[in-house]
Amino acid sequence: MDASWACSAAYVYVLHLPPASRAWEYLRRNPRYVCDWMHHRRSPSQRIAARWGLASLMDPRIDAREVLPVWVIDDSAPVTLVRDAMGHAQTDMDGGGRFSLWRLAGRKILVGEGERIRLVVNSSAKAVQVRLGGNLREGDRFASQIPAAADERAVWTALTGFRALTPVSGRGHAPPSDRPGRADVFHVRALQVLDGLAAEGTQRELAVALFGVRAVARGWQPDSALRAQLRYLIRRAGELMEGGYRSLVDSDPAVIGSHDSGGNRSKRATNYV
């Protein structure tokens, strides 16, 4: 039996993942997703990928430190960055107000979507997704184009998230790292539980790995709080793996928009940078 799951230190990286990356950690442990990837990896299918909320199938053997998932779960209208054809005056004369893919702080990936391109930038705090208009080029002044029916709060969050990735006067700064909270620790333990169950570990073995030998020796009774906590972890981890991971993507405020809303395609508000 593979006991590598019993080392809690191997899961520390999960503490600092954004919600959308944690969603990938749950999905890549789903046996049905692994089966789909095995059968369709040589003939990529957007239909199969969309079944799981992804733009394309990704290798489940690679964790979220190496993979930048592109989610297409949220149906709200996206923000599109376009060239500012009106030539609005810039207050920042050093080029900070111009579009530059390489000056954005974080891991970047471009995904083709017909006439447009989806830009995904993953910083240490969150993932930001926007679309790039076909006329936008490196060094252009740019504007944000938003369908009139878009969720204002989600749009504002996405725009401020995108601006935060742009260094001021060419000098980037690392975002402050928050101390892990209870929810962060929960996800570490839930993922460890999934790996332990996949390796056919017993509930007592899971409890020892999560809470320590002494805690189990003191509190491993049939109706103990320790056992109730473990049962809860097992149930919630299974729910998140089977589809609840989608709620993590939705909870990441900067991951907005996956599809154009046909009825609102001609009604757009434009903000100039």
Residue 226 has a pLDDT of 94
CA-CA distance, 243 to 153, in Å (whole number)?
25
Per the prediction, the chain carries an average pLDDT of 78
Residue 195 has a pLDDT of 97
Query: Is residue 90 a part of any domain in this protein?
Result: yes
Share of the chain above pLDDT 70, in %: 71
pLDDT in tens, 99-111: 888 777 777 777 7
Query: Is residue 96 a part of any domain in this protein?
Result: yes
pLDDT over 90 (residue 152): no
Contact 157, 254 (CB under 8 A): yes
The torsion region of residue 212 among left (phi > 0), alpha (psi -120 to 50) and beta comes to left
Query: Is residue 170 a part of any domain in this protein?
Result: yes
Query: Is residue 243 a part of any domain in this protein?
Result: no
Query: Is residue 239 a part of any domain in this protein?
Result: no
Share of the chain above pLDDT 90, in %: 39
**Angle value at C-alpha 84, between 83 and 87, nearest 5 degrees:** 140
Range of the domain at 161: 80-177+252-272
Q: Which of 22-26, 91-95, 116-120, 168-172 has the highest mean pLDDT?
A: 22-26
Query: Is residue 246 a part of any domain in this protein?
Result: no
Quote the number of domains for the chain: 1
The torsion region of residue 224 among left (phi > 0), alpha (psi -120 to 50) and beta comes to beta
Q: What is the mean pLDDT of residues 123-143?
A: 76
pLDDT over 90 (residue 192): yes
The DSSP annotation for 171-185 comes to B--PPPPPPP-HHHH
pLDDT in tens, 197-225: 999 999 999 999 999 999 999 999 988 99
pLDDT over 60 (residue 33): yes
pLDDT over 70 (residue 97): no
Residue 20 has a pLDDT of 86
Contact 141, 90 (CB under 8 A): yes
Q: Model confidence at 151, in pLDDT bands (50, 70, 90)?
A: low
The larger pLDDT score, comparing residue 60 to residue 155, is at: 60
Q: What is the mean pLDDT of residues 86-103?
A: 60
Contact 127, 252 (CB under 8 A): yes
Query: Is residue 137 a part of any domain in this protein?
Result: yes
**Angle value at C-alpha 239, between 32 and 61, nearest 5 degrees:** 40
For residue 120, what are the β-bridge partners? 109, 129
Query: Is residue 108 a part of any domain in this protein?
Result: yes
32-46, 82-96, 254-268: which has the minimum mean pLDDT?
254-268
